[in-house]
Chain A
Amino acid sequence: MENLNGLVLKVDALSIAFGGLKAVDNLSFDIKENEVFGLIGPNGAGKTTAFNCITQFYKPNSGTLLFKGRDEQVHDLQKKKVHEIIKLGLVRTFQNVELIRELSVIDNVLIGAHVDFISTIIDQAFRLPRARREEKALRKEALRILGVLGIEDRALLPAGGQPYGVLKKVEFARALMSNPRLIILDEPAAGLNDSETIELAKLIRKLRDELGCSILLVEHDMRLVMDVCDRICAISFGKFLAVGTPKEIKENRDVQIAYLGIEVEANA
């Protein structure tokens, strides 16, 4: 298999159609290690569809998706099932925060470690030493991650009653729990106010610098994208428009046309 020199993800000629409508059409881009990569486009441009293809929620019609996993091996994502993706080191968050209200914050975070458990159901049913040790170690790790995000004091509270900003962080923590190489953030700024968005930007940089993982940011909020991304890929109607640094994207004529209203505002 191809050696992804310095890349974590290589998307090549990705296409998917729903009943004749091409939602993603021949899209290619790649993400380097330790990079914050933005995927932008107007509403209905196919951003969400594109990353649903990457995470295998949808099976693409054609194209290749290569990913360098936690094990340093290159994997063909299309050969994997949805639930096998996280084990490779590719994890996503959800636009409308998908947590379990009844469970405590820390239990929600522990779900991120689901695939990392070695002890069997029998070990856990009878609380054999192996299961106890493992649960304890992973709990400690979850607390540490919550600490990095500054919400360890809420670990034992039910997720249900927490404010939105905290829930977003819990979802981050859950993603980090899987020790990922690449995190896909689905419109993380949606529903956040200005100061929370600024904090989010800081957090994203912190993740890249301290944990050494790459981030694919799928976002509407132009200020956040322009602020934190190293490179950006712009798409429109499922087609590739341009890729480059935030500055290059801002100045790209095709992108300006596709975006018009939004782009004029961002330039101003």
Chain B
Amino acid sequence: MKKLIKNPHLHFIFLGLLLMIVPKLAEMGLFKVSYVTTLGGTFILAIAALGLNILLGFSGLVSLGTAGFMGLAAYLSAYFTVDLGLSFELSLILAVVIPTIVGILVGLVSLKIEGIYLAIATLAVSEILRKTFEEFDFFTGGFSGKTASYPTLLGTYELDRAGMYYFVVAVLIIVMLITYNMMNGRLGRALNAMRGSEAASQAMGVNLLNHRLIAFALATMYASIAGVLYVHFIKYSYPSIWTLKLSLDFLAMIVIGGLRSIYGTLLGAFIVFAVPDLFLKQIPFFSEMSYVLNGVLIILVIIFYPNGLINMFADIKRLFNKLSKGEGK
């Protein structure tokens, strides 16, 4: 029994079940219905952020193209389902595979050298993608944007807002589980070793270029999955969504929440995206300041609390234990 309680996989599944209650609470009138959209959106962004956390947290590489790749996948899926009439499943696969291939090509060019080249190359790529979103009218609808609808699963189950929310939570939990497995296995150890010492990891047989590529491909893949979910949950896509600003938000999420931490990523997504939307909106000054606050938080966390806010829980617990022990004496 104790083993079951400690099983990390069950924790993820339990979290998923907990998150699935939200639409029910909204139906009962305990929550505003719009909260379902906000939370679903947060989870979608968390998926992309998890990919970036593999890249930055584990392998120490920065990508500024997260939003660009996410947008590419969103447009592709909208185009495949609406214009070409493909099934949701097929379009999901294509809209994830195509950006991932683009990502691997970019990685092949930039990852051979120092890590910082990836940041600059992805910045250039996101600029190219932004231009593509604006100019390729037939595919993206240009500035007026592109709409998509809630998906129909397996050709029979038509999802509504709540249904799509459940689907998003399910995907989030699966992605978290997969990430947990990979990062606690051979791949995670190799990426950790690489970040610690390139020379030592090479001596242990880690092919640097391959593993950097894998990390970047995973980051692109996660961003693409998030892009597809986004366009079928929010149901539209504009060029102005997929900017550098959003890519920076992803960085903020993982740095603030906690590098290398799966739960930290979710916490970070909540702080960066949901908190301004749910709470700060009501306070006029703060809603304008949320971007500034994120910037300040990034800097403060990096300098003073490098493992991220997720560690607060452990630190508070430790402090509490210490205090209660002190009283016991």
Contact = CB atoms under 8 A, between A and B. Distances in A.
Interface in B155-179: 178
Interface in A88-130: 91-92, 94, 98-103, 107, 110-112, 114-115, 117, 119, 121, 124-127
A111 B203 contact: no
Contact of B205 (A103, A126, A131, A178): A178
Interface stretch (A13-21, A79-87, A194-202): A79-87
B202 interface: yes
Interface string A114-156: 1101010100111100010001000000000000000000000
Contacts of A55: 203
B190 interface: yes
Interface size class of B (residues with CB under 8 A): 20 to 34
B284 interface: no
B203 A82 contact: yes
A169 interface: no
Given A83-B206, A124-B181, A124-B187, A94 B199 contact: yes
Nearest to B218: A121
B178 A126 contact: yes
Contact of B214 (A98, A99, A121, A127): A121
A94 B196 CA distance: 13
B200 interface: yes
Nearest to A171: B200
B189 A107 contact: yes
B119 interface: no
Interface in B197-255: 197, 199-208, 214
B278 interface: no
A111 B182 contact: no
A119 B181 CA distance: 13
Interface of A: 55, 57, 81-87, 91-92, 94, 98-103, 107, 110-112, 114-115, 117, 119, 121, 124-127, 131, 135, 174, 178
Interface of B: 178, 181-182, 185-187, 189-190, 192-193, 195-197, 199-208, 214, 260
10 contacts: A57-B203, A81-B207, A83-B202, A83-B203, A92-B203, A110-B186, A111-B190, A111-B193, A124-B181, A124-B187
The 3 A-B residue pairs with the shortest CB-CB distance, nearest first, are: A98-B200, A115-B205, A86-B205
